[in-house]
Amino acid sequence: MAIDTNTVNEIAARLLADYDAATPGMIFAEGLRLELPDAWRVQSAVTRLREARGESVIGYKVGAVTPGNQKMMGLETPVWGRLWGSEVHGSGVQLQKQSYDGIAIEAEFAIELASDLTPELSISEIAQSVAAVYPTLELHNLVLRGEKPHGHELIANNCINCGVVCGAPVSDLASACDTDLKLIYDGVVVDQWLTLNWPGDIVAAVVWLTAALAEHGLQLKAGDLVLTSAWGPPIPVAENTRVDVTSSVFGNAFALFV
Protein backbone atom coordinates (compact mmCIF):
# COMPACT_ATOMS: atom_id res chain seq x y z
CA MET A 1 0.00 0.00 0.00
CA ALA A 2 1.39 3.38 -1.03
CA ILE A 3 2.27 5.80 1.73
CA ASP A 4 0.46 9.14 1.85
CA THR A 5 1.90 12.38 0.50
CA ASN A 6 2.53 13.88 3.94
CA THR A 7 4.64 10.88 4.91
CA VAL A 8 6.58 11.08 1.64
CA ASN A 9 7.33 14.74 2.35
CA GLU A 10 8.37 14.01 5.94
CA ILE A 11 10.79 11.31 4.79
CA ALA A 12 12.16 13.63 2.11
CA ALA A 13 12.79 16.43 4.62
CA ARG A 14 14.64 14.02 6.91
CA LEU A 15 16.72 12.63 4.04
CA LEU A 16 17.73 16.10 2.89
CA ALA A 17 18.65 17.21 6.40
CA ASP A 18 20.84 14.13 6.85
CA TYR A 19 22.39 14.62 3.41
CA ASP A 20 23.25 18.22 4.28
CA ALA A 21 24.86 16.98 7.51
CA ALA A 22 27.04 14.48 5.58
CA THR A 23 25.26 11.57 7.28
CA PRO A 24 22.97 10.44 4.44
CA GLY A 25 20.22 7.89 4.87
CA MET A 26 20.16 7.64 8.65
CA ILE A 27 16.41 7.03 8.55
CA PHE A 28 17.03 3.67 6.86
CA ALA A 29 19.20 2.56 9.80
CA GLU A 30 16.08 3.10 11.93
CA GLY A 31 14.18 0.47 9.95
CA LEU A 32 12.47 2.44 7.18
CA ARG A 33 11.60 0.32 4.14
CA LEU A 34 9.87 1.67 1.07
CA GLU A 35 8.13 0.03 -1.84
CA LEU A 36 9.98 0.98 -5.03
CA PRO A 37 7.23 3.31 -6.33
CA ASP A 38 7.33 5.17 -3.02
CA ALA A 39 11.13 5.39 -3.19
CA TRP A 40 10.78 7.20 -6.52
CA ARG A 41 8.21 9.53 -4.94
CA VAL A 42 10.66 10.31 -2.15
CA GLN A 43 13.47 11.09 -4.61
CA SER A 44 11.14 13.50 -6.40
CA ALA A 45 10.06 15.08 -3.10
CA VAL A 46 13.70 15.71 -2.16
CA THR A 47 14.14 17.26 -5.60
CA ARG A 48 11.31 19.70 -4.94
CA LEU A 49 12.86 20.69 -1.61
CA ARG A 50 16.24 21.33 -3.18
CA GLU A 51 14.72 23.33 -6.02
CA ALA A 52 12.71 25.36 -3.53
CA ARG A 53 15.92 26.52 -1.89
CA GLY A 54 17.45 27.55 -5.22
CA GLU A 55 19.29 24.46 -6.49
CA SER A 56 18.90 23.29 -10.09
CA VAL A 57 18.84 19.87 -11.75
CA ILE A 58 21.31 19.98 -14.65
CA GLY A 59 21.04 16.37 -15.81
CA TYR A 60 20.80 12.72 -14.82
CA LYS A 61 22.84 9.62 -14.04
CA VAL A 62 22.26 5.94 -14.77
CA GLY A 63 23.14 3.26 -12.21
CA ALA A 64 22.85 -0.49 -11.58
CA VAL A 65 23.07 -1.34 -15.27
CA THR A 66 24.19 -4.96 -14.85
CA PRO A 67 21.72 -7.76 -14.05
CA GLY A 68 23.95 -8.91 -11.20
CA ASN A 69 23.84 -5.54 -9.46
CA GLN A 70 20.11 -5.31 -10.01
CA LYS A 71 19.49 -8.71 -8.46
CA MET A 72 21.68 -7.84 -5.47
CA MET A 73 19.67 -4.66 -4.95
CA GLY A 74 16.26 -6.26 -5.41
CA LEU A 75 15.71 -4.44 -8.69
CA GLU A 76 14.59 -5.55 -12.13
CA THR A 77 15.92 -2.59 -14.11
CA PRO A 78 18.68 0.02 -13.88
CA VAL A 79 17.99 3.14 -11.84
CA TRP A 80 18.51 6.85 -12.39
CA GLY A 81 19.15 9.92 -10.29
CA ARG A 82 19.41 13.67 -10.67
CA LEU A 83 22.60 15.70 -11.09
CA TRP A 84 22.73 19.03 -9.29
CA GLY A 85 24.46 22.13 -10.61
CA SER A 86 25.80 22.92 -7.14
CA GLU A 87 27.68 19.59 -7.15
CA VAL A 88 29.39 19.74 -10.56
CA HIS A 89 33.11 20.58 -10.31
CA GLY A 90 35.89 21.22 -12.77
CA SER A 91 39.04 19.12 -13.00
CA GLY A 92 41.60 19.98 -10.32
CA VAL A 93 39.04 20.80 -7.64
CA GLN A 94 40.01 20.26 -4.00
CA LEU A 95 37.28 18.64 -1.94
CA GLN A 96 36.98 17.93 1.78
CA LYS A 97 36.57 14.27 2.75
CA GLN A 98 34.63 15.36 5.82
CA SER A 99 31.92 16.78 3.54
CA TYR A 100 31.00 13.21 2.53
CA ASP A 101 30.30 9.85 4.14
CA GLY A 102 32.34 7.00 2.71
CA ILE A 103 33.41 9.01 -0.34
CA ALA A 104 33.94 6.65 -3.28
CA ILE A 105 34.55 7.20 -6.99
CA GLU A 106 33.54 5.68 -10.30
CA ALA A 107 35.31 6.50 -13.58
CA GLU A 108 32.73 7.39 -16.21
CA PHE A 109 31.95 9.42 -19.27
CA ALA A 110 29.41 12.23 -19.26
CA ILE A 111 27.68 13.56 -22.36
CA GLU A 112 26.28 17.03 -22.91
CA LEU A 113 23.22 17.08 -25.16
CA ALA A 114 22.86 19.40 -28.12
CA SER A 115 19.16 18.61 -28.60
CA ASP A 116 16.23 17.07 -26.78
CA LEU A 117 15.92 13.28 -26.71
CA THR A 118 12.74 11.25 -27.05
CA PRO A 119 12.18 7.59 -26.17
CA GLU A 120 13.01 4.85 -28.68
CA LEU A 121 15.94 6.66 -30.28
CA SER A 122 18.78 4.38 -31.35
CA ILE A 123 22.34 4.60 -30.06
CA SER A 124 23.46 6.27 -33.30
CA GLU A 125 20.60 8.78 -33.14
CA ILE A 126 21.48 9.67 -29.56
CA ALA A 127 25.14 10.03 -30.52
CA GLN A 128 24.16 12.56 -33.20
CA SER A 129 22.50 14.62 -30.46
CA VAL A 130 25.64 14.79 -28.29
CA ALA A 131 27.51 18.09 -28.20
CA ALA A 132 30.46 16.88 -26.13
CA VAL A 133 31.88 14.02 -24.08
CA TYR A 134 33.64 14.57 -20.76
CA PRO A 135 35.87 12.26 -18.72
CA THR A 136 34.36 12.30 -15.24
CA LEU A 137 34.70 11.20 -11.66
CA GLU A 138 31.32 10.38 -10.16
CA LEU A 139 31.26 10.97 -6.40
CA HIS A 140 29.27 8.71 -4.07
CA ASN A 141 28.41 8.56 -0.41
CA LEU A 142 29.07 4.81 -0.22
CA VAL A 143 26.73 4.03 2.66
CA LEU A 144 23.58 1.91 2.58
CA ARG A 145 22.26 1.66 6.12
CA GLY A 146 19.16 -0.50 5.97
CA GLU A 147 18.71 -4.23 5.57
CA LYS A 148 19.27 -5.84 2.19
CA PRO A 149 18.11 -5.56 -0.53
CA HIS A 150 18.99 -1.89 -0.81
CA GLY A 151 17.20 -0.94 -4.04
CA HIS A 152 14.61 1.28 -2.35
CA GLU A 153 17.29 3.05 -0.33
CA LEU A 154 19.45 3.53 -3.42
CA ILE A 155 16.57 5.16 -5.33
CA ALA A 156 15.38 7.40 -2.50
CA ASN A 157 18.96 8.57 -1.87
CA ASN A 158 19.40 9.69 -5.49
CA CYS A 159 21.48 6.61 -6.36
CA ILE A 160 24.01 7.74 -3.68
CA ASN A 161 25.37 10.37 -6.09
CA CYS A 162 26.93 13.36 -4.35
CA GLY A 163 28.71 15.11 -7.19
CA VAL A 164 30.63 15.02 -10.45
CA VAL A 165 34.11 16.20 -11.47
CA CYS A 166 34.38 16.86 -15.21
CA GLY A 167 37.43 17.21 -17.43
CA ALA A 168 37.53 19.31 -20.59
CA PRO A 169 34.81 18.65 -23.19
CA VAL A 170 35.64 16.77 -26.37
CA SER A 171 33.37 17.82 -29.22
CA ASP A 172 35.04 16.10 -32.21
CA LEU A 173 32.68 13.10 -32.29
CA ALA A 174 32.31 12.51 -36.00
CA SER A 175 33.42 8.89 -36.10
CA ALA A 176 33.19 5.74 -34.01
CA CYS A 177 36.29 4.86 -32.01
CA ASP A 178 37.62 2.79 -29.13
CA THR A 179 39.12 4.21 -25.95
CA ASP A 180 40.49 2.98 -22.67
CA LEU A 181 39.37 4.30 -19.28
CA LYS A 182 41.38 4.22 -16.06
CA LEU A 183 40.70 5.14 -12.44
CA ILE A 184 43.92 6.04 -10.62
CA TYR A 185 44.43 6.64 -6.89
CA ASP A 186 47.67 8.40 -5.95
CA GLY A 187 49.34 7.11 -9.10
CA VAL A 188 48.10 3.51 -8.81
CA VAL A 189 45.52 2.13 -11.27
CA VAL A 190 42.63 0.74 -9.19
CA ASP A 191 40.21 -0.03 -12.04
CA GLN A 192 40.49 0.03 -15.83
CA TRP A 193 38.79 -0.91 -19.09
CA LEU A 194 41.03 -1.35 -22.08
CA THR A 195 38.46 -1.16 -24.89
CA LEU A 196 35.26 0.86 -24.70
CA ASN A 197 33.48 1.89 -27.88
CA TRP A 198 32.12 5.30 -28.77
CA PRO A 199 29.22 5.49 -29.16
CA GLY A 200 28.13 1.88 -28.60
CA ASP A 201 29.34 1.17 -25.08
CA ILE A 202 29.25 4.76 -23.85
CA VAL A 203 25.73 5.70 -24.95
CA ALA A 204 23.95 2.32 -24.63
CA ALA A 205 22.33 2.97 -21.22
CA VAL A 206 20.93 6.33 -22.39
CA VAL A 207 18.47 4.42 -24.59
CA TRP A 208 16.98 2.95 -21.41
CA LEU A 209 17.19 6.28 -19.57
CA THR A 210 15.07 8.19 -22.08
CA ALA A 211 12.25 5.67 -21.71
CA ALA A 212 12.56 5.46 -17.91
CA LEU A 213 12.38 9.24 -17.52
CA ALA A 214 9.33 9.40 -19.78
CA GLU A 215 7.50 7.12 -17.33
CA HIS A 216 7.98 9.89 -14.74
CA GLY A 217 6.97 12.69 -17.10
CA LEU A 218 10.58 13.80 -17.60
CA GLN A 219 12.72 14.25 -20.70
CA LEU A 220 16.39 14.68 -21.51
CA LYS A 221 16.80 18.21 -22.85
CA ALA A 222 19.40 20.14 -24.82
CA GLY A 223 22.11 21.29 -22.43
CA ASP A 224 21.60 18.41 -19.99
CA LEU A 225 24.62 16.57 -18.62
CA VAL A 226 24.19 12.78 -18.51
CA LEU A 227 26.41 10.32 -16.67
CA THR A 228 26.07 7.38 -19.00
CA SER A 229 26.83 4.56 -16.47
CA ALA A 230 29.90 2.99 -14.90
CA TRP A 231 31.50 -0.35 -15.72
CA GLY A 232 32.73 -1.03 -12.20
CA PRO A 233 31.74 -0.36 -8.58
CA PRO A 234 32.44 2.82 -6.62
CA ILE A 235 35.88 2.49 -5.03
CA PRO A 236 36.45 4.17 -1.64
CA VAL A 237 38.98 6.99 -1.62
CA ALA A 238 40.01 6.02 1.94
CA GLU A 239 43.47 7.42 2.77
CA ASN A 240 44.23 8.41 -0.83
CA THR A 241 44.45 12.07 -1.85
CA ARG A 242 44.56 12.41 -5.64
CA VAL A 243 42.05 10.67 -7.91
CA ASP A 244 42.54 10.70 -11.69
CA VAL A 245 40.38 9.45 -14.53
CA THR A 246 42.16 9.07 -17.86
CA SER A 247 40.96 8.20 -21.36
CA SER A 248 43.17 7.90 -24.42
CA VAL A 249 40.50 9.56 -26.58
CA PHE A 250 38.47 11.79 -24.25
CA GLY A 251 41.15 13.19 -21.97
CA ASN A 252 41.64 13.38 -18.23
CA ALA A 253 40.11 14.73 -15.04
CA PHE A 254 41.32 14.76 -11.45
CA ALA A 255 40.32 15.85 -7.97
CA LEU A 256 42.16 16.23 -4.67
CA PHE A 257 40.55 14.92 -1.48
CA VAL A 258 41.92 16.38 1.73
What is the distance between the alpha carbons of residues 235 and 232, in angstroms, rounded to a whole number? 9
**Residue 1 pLDDT exceeds 80:** no
| Cα 153 to Cα 110: distance, rounded to the nearest angstrom | 24
Q: Which CATH architecture has domain 56-257?
A: Alpha-Beta Complex (3.90)
Question: What pLDDT sits at residue 176?
Answer: 95
pLDDT of residue 136 exceeding 80, the answer is: yes
pLDDT of 174: 84
The model's pLDDT over 91-106, given as tens digits with 9 standing for 90+, comes to: 999 999 999 999 999 9
Using the predicted structure, report yes or no on whether residue 233 has a pLDDT greater than 80. Answer: yes
* Mean pLDDT computed over every residue of the chain: 97
* All structural domains of the chain with their residue ranges: 56-257
The DSSP-derived string for 79-128 is EEEEEEGGGEEETTEEE-GGGSSSEEEEEEEEEEESS---TT--HHHHHH
Q: State phi, psi for 40 to the nearest 5 degrees.
A: -65, -40
**CA pair distance 127, 173, nearest whole angstrom:** 8
Confidence of residue 50 (pLDDT cuts 50, 70, 90): very high
Does 2 have pLDDT greater than 90?
A: no
Answer yes or no: is pLDDT of 170 > 90.
Answer: yes
> d(Cα 137, Cα 165) in Å, to the nearest integer?
5
- Give the number of other Cβ atoms within 10 Å of residue 142's Cβ: 18
Q: How far apart are CA 125 and CA 114, in angstroms?
A: 12
